[in-house]
Structure 1
Amino acid sequence: MLLSGGSLVANNILDSLSGRRSGLSVAATNSVPDGPGLDRFDQIYKVPETATARRDFEDRLDQILEVQQPDLVIPCRDDDVIALAELKERGHPWGPRFLCGGATISSALHDKFESYRFCAARGLPFVPTLRTPVSRELASTFVERHGLPLLVKPAAGFASRGVRILLTREQLFQSLDIEDLLLQRFLGEPSEVLEAWNRFHTQGIPLFHSFEGLKHSIQVMIDPDGNCNDVFCSVNVNRNGTSLSLERHDDEEALQLGRDCAAELASAGARGPINIQCQKAPDGKLWIYEFNARFSGATAARRLMGFDEVAMALARYAGILLPPVSNKKGSRVSRIAVDKIDGAA
């Protein structure tokens, strides 16, 4: 059973199961009745909104679990991960079938400042981060250390929503008293942003523009016993926070970072799929800037490139074995345009 079946992640999971659903019954919950792709499920259940009506959501989920008796419950949004992790920690009878880790680590992976603190305590390279509200003195020290521009973003967000680039101290100071914003070192090339800003002043603002650089995405699968032998690295071209294309990138620095993260996260109670989003600074160093304790919007693309993470989860957490996947030529795909995958628009 998938929570938030109308999400992009849920559609990616269904795409990963394409051609392999014989003998499987796949149910979904969703807070709205007309989410994209809901007609692809065998059963659909309407539920209250996870974040805003948690108690009602939990009561409704209990009813559904008793009817469905699922072998595995897969959260498809961050709010779902947190809800399942907290139920699991409270000893929920269906907790062993929830594809998530403990509540504390799940919350830390959802909150980017807590992610930064987790990594800083364990020597993992998370991009330098401050959380507002913060004093002008501390913010000025941060600027002196990391320079301008800086990024400002919500502490708990996704798909680059609410992310802004701050070019001046005056812009920075306007954000310092707002609750739960993050100030982060900008990992792109500062000169490109400043040159674009100057063009905007003289030539006008293009209707479509972006400063998104290449994202290095690392996906790991932590087994029920805490081991992790499965790490997949890709370089993603993004627009508006969504991957447009992926290329498999077996870079040893990224692979080792994935192994290091998996080991530390597993020791803190993380389980199941973990997505680690990174970017290289101009000096070439790879920095983490976000974790997601779930499958992602590129899950189906990774399957086509040889990383069959949904099959791994079903086998290791539910004992369900799926047939292997091969493309029409019988060889592994190394690069793919995500928007060409059915259901993963």
Structure 2
Amino acid sequence: MKILITSVGSLVGQNILDVLEFSSFSRRSRVEVIGTNSVAASPQNFRCERVYLVGNTATEQFEADFTNILTVEKPDVILSGRDEDTFRVTQIVRDLGSDARLPYGTMSSLETALNKIKTFEFCQKHNLPFAETFLSDDSDYLTGLKCFAEKNSFPLIAKPIQGYASKGVFFVRNMDELAVASRLQGYMFQEYLGDGEALTEYFHSMEHLIPLFAHAPNIHHHSCHAIIHPDGTFDDIFISRNEHDSGVTIGFKRVEDKELERITAQFLRAIYTEGGYGPITVQFRHDRYGHWKAQEMNMRTNGNTFPRFMMGQDDLGEIINYLLPDADFPIYVPDKEMSKVLIGKTLKSCVLYPEQVCALSKSNKYSR
């Protein structure tokens, strides 16, 4: 079986490879891994049988590169390593008429997760709890935004409409900052989910010497993940509490919450009615009144794929078996109870040889 992983150098790419190569349940010999990446000096590149150096996803060069790879490699399954890959890769595959299978539904359902405004509108349409979001109308933009701030209180969150991985997301703490942020192009504004008053001391410290790595206190979220099958069914919903430090998840623990499970099931059913299926993750936090609200969602394998696998949710096995019913791909089941453990997330060091990077940089392809 040939699996193509786009942006294989990403955290998601590492998670997929770690799942395949897990020492207690290795399935690496069952697959041939093809990778694509726009960065040559990435350690994950050289864990693949072959890796191709491609242009950035948004460029015309990427489309040409990726079309050529599909023609040459003819992969059985394609998995996206980044949010921005998901829509573009799916579009290229379907336009080309490739036989490669992807765990995604309609293009419009993918846009629902990629575009933050569409996410909010989707939740409004299906009466799903989501962070209050400012949408401009025909009235004065800044006046409307100020009314939104007065209604929802500071701090607010400003984020790119087409953003990913928290890049470009920042706090808006007062009316002066709101006036500045309102001039940004391609941004949206949301209520802050959590206790805004708990950030007072942190905000005060940020008005003086700025730390190299900013760290707002008491930052965590609950991540609810499941796989929707093409027939609309889904198995267990995996709920984790993710602890953050300086913007990075460092602690990962499985939890049980019947209310979150119920709300997530509503999200899954609504997504399926819009033509979506495959891996779905919805991130939740409490608002200032203690009510669960979603702050974002994505529709791909993600950076928690390996820790979930260790705790008994084998995304990769499940996806492969519904995309390729005859594959009979083994499913991992832990030999001991894992629901009470805490998984610490960290970097894994590895050796990278200059001649490997040089070979990939020169020819745009490397085979091991």
What is the TM-score with the length of structure 1 in the denominator? Answer: 0.90
Aligned residue pair count = 338
CA distance in 2, matches of 1:131, 1:35: 39
Q: 1:73 is paired with a residue of what secondary structure?
A: strand
Q: Which amino acid aligns with 2:83?
A: D
Match of 2:10 among 4, 7, 19: 7
2:346 corresponding residue in structure 1: 339
The runs of 5 or more residues in structure 1 that have no matched partner are none
What does residue 81 of structure 2 align with?
Answer: 76
Instruction: Please tell me the residue identity of whatever aligns with 1:309.
Output: D
Partners of 1:245 and 1:59 in 2: how far apart? 40
Do 1:154 and 1:182's aligned partners in 2 also have CA atoms closer than 8 Å? Answer: yes
| CA distances 1:153-192 after superposition (whole Å, capped 9, x unpaired) | 1112223222221111111011213221111101121212
Q: Report what 2:103 is aligned to.
A: 99
Shift of 1:335: 2.2
The residue type paired with residue 62 of structure 2 is F
Give the aligned residue type for 1:300. F
Could you say what the CA RMSD is over the residues aligned between the two structures, in angstroms? 2.3
**Aligned partner (choices 266, 269, 275) of residue 272 of structure 2:** 266
Higher mean alpha-carbon deviation, 113-122 vs 130-139, is at 130-139
SS of the counterpart of 1:269?
Answer: coil
The reply on whether 1:35 has 2:42 as its aligned counterpart is yes
Cα deviation for residue 34 of structure 1 reads 2.1
1:182 paired residue number: 188
| CA displacement at 1:229 relative to structure 2 | 2.6
Name the amino acid aligned to 1:52.
T
What amino acid is aligned across from residue 123 of structure 1 in structure 2?
Answer: N
Does 1:317 pair with 2:360? no
How many Å separate the matches in 1 of 2:220 and 2:246?
13
Shift of the 89–123 alpha-carbon distance from structure 1 to 2, 3 Å rule, reads farther
1:112-169 CA distances to partner (integer Å, 9 max, x unpaired)? Answer: 1110111111101110112579612211221221111111111122232222211111
2:101 aligned with 1:128: no
Report what 1:119 is aligned to. Answer: 123
- Kept in 2, the 8 Å contact 1:276–1:291? The answer is yes
Provide the residue aligned with 2:291 in structure 1.
Answer: 285
Q: Percent identity?
A: 28
Deviations 1:203-232 (A, max 9, x none): 855554422621110112111223223321
CA contact (8 A) 2:15 2:305 kept: yes
Alignment of 1:135-284 (within 5 A): 135-199=141-205, 205-211=210-216, 213-284=219-290
- Whether the aligned pair in 1 keeps the contact of 2:74 and 2:100 (CA below 8 Å) is no
* Partners of 1:85 and 1:106 within 8 A in 2: no
- SS at the partner of 1:159? coil
Contact map agreement 2:225 2:282 (CA 8 A) in 1: yes
Amino acid at match of 2:343: I
Residue aligning to 2:30: 23
Which residue of the other structure, out of 296, 301, 311, is the alignment partner of 2:302?
Answer: 296
CA distance in 1, matches of 2:136, 2:99: 35
The residue type equivalent to 2:278 in the other structure is G
Q: Secondary structure at the match of 2:237?
A: strand
Distance 1:269 1:85, change over 3 A: farther
Instruction: Report the CA distance shift for 1:281/1:342 in structure 2 as closer, same or farther (over 3 A).
Output: farther
Equivalent-residue separation in structure 2 for 1:182 and 1:2 (angstroms): 31
Unaligned runs of at least 5 residues, structure 2: 351-368
Q: Secondary structure at the match of 1:301?
A: helix
Alpha-carbon distance in structure 2 between the residues aligned to 1:108 and 1:295: 16
Looking at structure 1, the residues matched to 239 and 348 of structure 2 have their Cα atoms a distance apart, in angstroms, of 19
Question: Residue 6 of structure 2 contacts residue 81 of structure 2 at CA under 8 Å; is this kept in 1?
Answer: yes
1:37 aligned counterpart, secondary structure: helix
Using the alignment, how far apart are the partners of 1:68 and 1:88 within structure 2?
Answer: 13
Equivalent position amino acid for 1:100 in 2 = Y
C-alpha displacement at 1:325, in angstroms? 2.8
Q: Is the 8 A contact 1:132 1:180 kept in 2?
A: no
CA separation in 2, counterparts of 1:60 and 1:44?
Answer: 12
Separation (CA, whole Å) in 1 of partners of 2:205 and 2:91: 49
Aligned with 1:32: secondary structure? coil
List per-residue Cα deviations over 1:301-334 (Å, max 9, x = no partner): 000111111111111112333334355x633254
Q: In the superposition, relative to structure 1, how do residues 62 and 206 fare at CA in structure 2: closer, same or farther (>3 Å)?
A: closer
CA distance in 2, matches of 1:95, 1:82: 17
Cα offset, 1:47, TM superposition? 2.0
Structure 1 residues 63 and 314, CA gap change in structure 2 (3 angstroms):
same
Matched with 2:91 is 86
Other-structure match for 1:66: 71
TM-score normalised according to structure 2 size = 0.85
